[in-house]
Structure 1
Amino acid sequence: MLSTQSNDSLRELNAKLLAEICELRKKVAEDEVEKTKLRQELKARTDKNIPVITTSQENNDDDIEFTKSQVIEQELTKGLLSGIISAIFLCRSEGNQDNA
C-alpha cells in the first residue's frame, strides 16, 4: 500500500514537472522570438545610420579638399604679390638709376 501511494505521488510530481517544463519551453520560444525581433529592429536602425555616417565622412572630405584649395590659393596670391612688389621695386630702382 505504501508503495502504491509512493508511485502515485511520484506520478503526480512527474506530471507537474512535465507541465512546468512545457511552460518553460514555451517561455524560451517566446523569448527567442522577441530577441529576433529586437535584433531585426537594431539592424534596421543601424542600417539607417550608415548613410548618415557616410554623408558625414563625405562632408569632412569635401571640407578638407576646400581647405587645401584655399591654402594653395593663398600661396599663389602671396607669390604673385611678391612678384609684383619685386617688379615695382625693380622699376623704381631702375628709374632712380636713370635719373642719376
Structure 2
Amino acid sequence: MKNLEHQTKQAFLFSLAFYIVAILARLFNLGIFPILGSLSILLSLIWVILVLREIMLSRTVSNTERMFMALSIVLLNVVGGVFYFFFGWRKQVLGLMKK
C-alpha cells in the first residue's frame, strides 16, 4: 500500500467538498450544478477504487471484515467513507491499530 495512503484520504475529502458545493449549487439553482455533480461522482469513484485497493491488500483484517468494509464503501459511499476515515476502520486496515 505504498505511497497512496495520503492520496486516498485527499480524494475522499475533495469528493466530499465537491458534493457539498454541488448540493449548494442545486439549492441556489446555479447552472454549474451538473458539472460539479459530475466532478464529485468522478472523485468519488477514484477514492472508492483506492479504498478498495487498500482493503484488499490489507493483511490485518479478516475476510469477513474485508467483505463488510468493501460493501459498506461501495453501497453507502460517503457515509461508508466517513466510517472508514474517521471511525478507525482505516487504522485497522493499515495495521496501525489492534482489533
Task: Give TM-score, length-normalised by structure 1.
Answer: 0.29
> Relative to total residues, which structure has the larger helix share, 1 or 2?
1
Structure showing greater relative contact order (alpha-carbon pairs closer than 8 Å, 6 or more residues apart): 2
